[in-house]
Structure 1
Amino acid sequence: MEIRKKLFISILAVIMISGSVFIPITDDSSVEAATSYVSLKNKIDSIMLDSRMKNASSSVTIRKASTGEVVYEYYGDRSITPASSLKLLTGAAALETLGENYRFSTAVLTDGKVQKGTLKGNLYLRGQGDPTLLKIHFDNFADGLVKQGIKKISGNLVGDDTWFDSVRLSAGILAEDEPYYYAAAISALTLSPNEDFDAGSVIVEAKPTSNGNSTKVTLTPETNVLQVVNKSKTVPKGYKNTLKITRQVGSNKVVITGNSPIGTFGKKEWISVTNPTLYALDVFKKSLSEKGVTFESSSKVVQGKTPKTAKSLVSRKSMPLKDLIIPFMKLSNNTHAEMLAKEMGKVVYGEGSWDAGLKVMREYADSIGLDSRKWNFEDASGMSYSNKITSKQMSQLLYVVRSEPWFSTYSKSLPIAGLSDRFIGGTLRNRLKIAPAKGNVMAKTGSLENIKSLAGYAYTKNGETLIFTVLTEKNKTSTIPVIDQIAITITNHK
């Protein structure tokens, strides 16, 4: 009996000791977690008192990446114009709808036959939404035709852009933006001047020559689509560089004005064209000419549809989407966003239009549990001032996509703070350049007049990943320094 009594007392003691140890650990852990986020909340609340934020309309949400739990919220359900941070939805929808390995196609076809070096028929250049076409690809097409014995073409050179509809500009594009690459016209057949892939634009550069003379103007690629009116002058060293390069809205007339001092680099602008299809045809015809391929005097350069019976002569597929998404997201390429939207519409609904593409994006949002009623947008790039989104919905998107099979590709496409390489740091390469934020913030920027945003992921000092979304509009002065301070505070959190 005594032995049993002692054994009972021993077991009871163990249970009591275990209980006394277990309960305080749980309570302390909860208190510590709560205190940790209260500290973060207090610091960000203090930042939000900055006059630049008080004078703006803002929406801020921070979540735990591991659980989606909201740990900070400042008007999280307030609708704000997101600017380019809308591309976070566009990129996610494109990866889900098209797939990481999706490639765009371009082909050269004919409805005729080659007889003694002459192609008796039309030559069709058919575009299917590839924003990565360069002059060198047209050179390769021309080489391919020459190897097939084609030296002359008796018919027309026809550009087929019917893969997309004929609407060139998305809703909300302002007239003042239209001449520049970031508001370029959209076509299924287009061309980029370099490997940034700013489709539908030409690099126009003016450099000083000798004092009193006009500047030297070069176009990359060379094209007759733009008509250059050069009113600029070269002035002595030490004078102010006042060069301005723009295009008259509604025309392809590029006007260059101002002074270019000797010893300077002059000025360079990426100027959009009014009709990307004709631009692509013009450059392709130059490639053919450079390879010795000529046309009959009666041949014309026109737009049209490729006959179903046409035979493919040469073709090309673009890089896969998992590679294209790097310049798209890192450099915040508006043209890519709009072309991806139309491509999603074409693939899902057989209609390469904004209506169809934006419908796919909304349906994707609903499919992952977002509330598409709170995602009001009329383009895919974020250029429209009428777009409205809440920070809570944006941060929910960033939480949900972490479980997608393509998330690694998605996350790699985000600009990384403070890293100087353009295809790594992207639009954040000149921001948050000091530790601990440098290299520890991966986020999409957004910028329009009086509108700034930043949304993505940040690593804290204790190794936790937090999702943050900061949207601001009606800014009397730039809120970027304050937004960056929020990001720094998150990376300093422990």
Structure 2
Amino acid sequence: MVLVPSVPSIKVNADMYGHEKMVQQMNQLINNDPSLKGAIAGVSIRSAKDGKIIYAQQGDVRLRPASNMKLLTAAAALNVLGEDYTFTTEIHTDGPIKKKTLHGNLYIKGKGDPTLLKSDFDQMAEVVQKRGIKKISGNLIGDDTWYDDVRYSLDLPWSDETTHYGAQISALTASPTKDYDAGSVKVLVQPAARKGEKPSVKMTPKTSYLKIINKAVTGAEESKKNITIERVHAKNTITIKGTIPIKAKPEQDWIGVWDPTRFSMSLLKQSLTEHGIQVTGKLKTGMVPDTAKMLTTHHSIPLSELLVPFMKLSNNVHAEILIKEMGKVVKGKGSWENGLKVLNSELVKFGVNPKTLVLRDASGVSHVNLIPANQLTQLLFTVQKEKWFSSYLHSLPVAGAPEKMEGGTLRNRLKDPLVRGKVKAKTGTISTVSSISGYVKTKSGQTLIFSILLNNLLEDTKGKKVEDRMLTIIANQ
């Protein structure tokens, strides 16, 4: 049973703002919706104008936020790093260039850039080529020491290890597309022209770092699609099994690679080879020596632009990279421990009480993270005054907006005219948890701030339907 507390101050605020009907409808929905039977609903609604709480249902109860955790991470990153902050990747050499040969090693030093594409490695190779280098007599060495060597956050489920949203965190990593799913590859499976033939498989970026074992078959047009794309634990072998019907739409998935540092090095070697540069040595990891000379520096897009795929598409790897980057910049070491210390100190500036929270990662994938809904709405109220708030607000998914980089995780939700385009919010989903927090423009023209945290659900998809009903009630004010 979900209890609705009777809090006089909340009722007074509701009366002041003329939201008595909303309070009644919210209470009725929370108490009577079968999806919430045996679950916990934490709800907080504030005025965006003065921050007063209009409605709270278990608003001070600590609940798992899922990806609503990213609201905290993004705010802290903007405050600590700034909107114009970029990540750099450096190419160094430690030997002389004679007769078109680099007599020494070539180094690539990663500093956390999650946006490196194959085309960026091509540009680096082009710089090496323009230096007249045709051969590298030494090794290609990757330096990922900008962060520590802990690859997974404390509570990441083992089952997430091979997924793009559970990819390893490295200061030297690469992405397959401009969605910037760092540390992963995109695998596309298309049916063959004839029944019984193997479907075609395309991997982005095209690389030999991972091996594809294709055990799938093209089935009859009326057969059922049941393709699985899975990577073997601790290896870079992807096995494809099952059936894909003739004329069926392609099946695609994003797979986290094992060791993104070496993956990035292999992409650079591939680009060097494609530019006519021979690497005679091996791929190794190590540190750039102080005596090395820098050939070129590549800069990422600014943080204000990175926030869009990070928040709209709810990118876990971006969150964990940002927490390590804050740890590196402020504390001198890029680790979860240091990054979370920085996050806690930043939250105080936004009126959030860290003593009410349990924070274990930056993405919300942990089931140990705990945040009260009232603390989330407090954050969302306070950040409105920050100079970077427009970038923060722009990064949030927009209800019912069909374009991926606008609607994000809300593009297929809240399409009713009452709410379409009027809700800007961060969604969240982990097993048994669904959440959504953000801003809503109401029928009367007010802006309300809300946080809805639903825990202990049997089906998170039903939780999202409950959230959409709640947001329709709020928007109708």
- Which of 326, 332, 339 is equivalent to 2:308? 326
CA deviation after TM superposition for structure 1 residue 261, in Å = 1.3
Q: 1:194 to 1:452 in 2, by over 3 A?
A: same
| Structure 2: stretches of 5+ with no match in the other structure | 1-11
Alignment of 1:350-389 (within 5 A): 350-389=332-371
CA deviation after TM superposition for structure 1 residue 126, in Å = 0.7
- Which of 454, 466, 482 is equivalent to 2:466? 482
Secondary structure class of the residue paired with 1:438: coil
Secondary structure class of the residue paired with 1:486: helix
The count of aligned residue pairs is: 462
Mapped to 1, the partners of 2:13 and 2:324 lie a distance apart of 50
- Which of 440, 444, 451 is equivalent to 1:469? 451
Mapped to 2, the partners of 1:32 and 1:295 lie a distance apart of 70
Q: For residue 275 of structure 1, what is the aligned residue in structure 2?
A: 259
Q: For residue 418 of structure 1, what is the aligned residue in structure 2?
A: 400
Amino acid at match of 1:281: M
Q: For residue 103 of structure 1, what is the aligned residue in structure 2?
A: 86
Q: Say if 2:289 is the partner of 1:292.
A: no
Alignment of 1:4-153 (within 5 A): 34=16, 36-49=18-31, 50-153=33-136
Mapped to 1, the partners of 2:14 and 2:78 lie a distance apart of 39
Q: For residue 384 of structure 2, what is the aligned residue in structure 1?
A: 402
- Which of 197, 210, 229 is equivalent to 1:226? 210
Q: TM-score, normalised by structure 1?
A: 0.92
Contact 2:418/2:476 (CA < 8 Å) preserved in 1? yes
Deviation string for 1:191-211 (max 9, x for gaps)? 000000000001112222232
Deviation string for 1:314-368 (max 9, x for gaps)? 2211111011111101110000000000000000001000001111101111233
Alignment of 1:418-457 (within 5 A): 418-457=400-439
Q: Say if 2:169 is the partner of 1:196.
A: no
Contact 2:117/2:176 (CA < 8 Å) preserved in 1? yes
CA deviation after TM superposition for structure 1 residue 55, in Å = 2.7
Q: For residue 141 of structure 2, what is the aligned residue in structure 1?
A: 158
Deviation string for 1:426-481 (max 9, x for gaps)? 11011001111000000000001110000000011121110000001111232111
Q: For residue 239 of structure 1, what is the aligned residue in structure 2?
A: 223
Contact 2:13/2:54 (CA < 8 Å) preserved in 1? no
Mapped to 1, the partners of 2:417 and 2:251 lie a distance apart of 34
Secondary structure class of the residue paired with 2:44: strand
Deviation string for 1:61-92 (max 9, x for gaps)? 10001111000010111111000000000000
Mapped to 1, the partners of 2:22 and 2:191 lie a distance apart of 54
Deviation string for 1:104-127 (max 9, x for gaps)? 000111001111111111000110
Q: For residue 460 of structure 1, what is the aligned residue in structure 2?
A: 442
- Which of 320, 324, 327 is equivalent to 1:342? 324
Secondary structure class of the residue paired with 2:138: coil
Q: For residue 297 of structure 2, what is the aligned residue in structure 1?
A: 315
Using the TM superposition, name which of 40-49 and 165-174 deviates more: 40-49
Secondary structure class of the residue paired with 2:396: coil
Contact 2:146/2:171 (CA < 8 Å) preserved in 1? yes
- Which of 285, 295, 306 is equivalent to 1:303? 285
Amino acid at match of 2:361: D
Mapped to 2, the partners of 1:374 and 1:224 lie a distance apart of 48
CA deviation after TM superposition for structure 1 residue 491, in Å = 1.1
Mapped to 1, the partners of 2:17 and 2:224 lie a distance apart of 56
Amino acid at match of 1:178: E
Secondary structure class of the residue paired with 2:310: helix
Secondary structure class of the residue paired with 1:431: coil
Contact 2:14/2:54 (CA < 8 Å) preserved in 1? no
Secondary structure class of the residue paired with 2:404: coil
Secondary structure class of the residue paired with 1:48: helix
CA deviation after TM superposition for structure 1 residue 130, in Å = 0.3
Q: 1:304 to 1:35 in 2, by over 3 A?
A: closer
CA deviation after TM superposition for structure 1 residue 227, in Å = 2.0
Q: TM-score, normalised by structure 2?
A: 0.95
Deviation string for 1:5-24 (max 9, x for gaps)? xxxxxxxxxxxxxxxxxxxx
Mapped to 1, the partners of 2:143 and 2:20 lie a distance apart of 59
Using the TM superposition, name which of 111-120 and 234-243 deviates more: 234-243
CA deviation after TM superposition for structure 1 residue 32, in Å = 10
CA deviation after TM superposition for structure 1 residue 414, in Å = 0.5
Mapped to 1, the partners of 2:201 and 2:403 lie a distance apart of 29
Secondary structure class of the residue paired with 2:334: coil
CA deviation after TM superposition for structure 1 residue 269, in Å = 1.0
Amino acid at match of 1:486: M
Mapped to 1, the partners of 2:61 and 2:366 lie a distance apart of 18
- Which of 233, 239, 249 is equivalent to 2:233? 249
Structure showing greater radius of gyration is: 1
Q: For residue 7 of structure 2, what is the aligned residue in structure 1?
A: none
Amino acid at match of 1:238: E
Amino acid at match of 1:196: D
Mapped to 2, the partners of 1:251 and 1:381 lie a distance apart of 25
Secondary structure class of the residue paired with 1:445: strand
Contact 1:223/1:279 (CA < 8 Å) preserved in 2? no
Contact 1:175/1:249 (CA < 8 Å) preserved in 2? no
Amino acid at match of 1:411: L
Alignment of 1:177-188 (within 5 A): 177-188=160-171
Secondary structure class of the residue paired with 2:160: coil
Secondary structure class of the residue paired with 1:256: strand
Q: CA RMSD in A?
A: 1.4
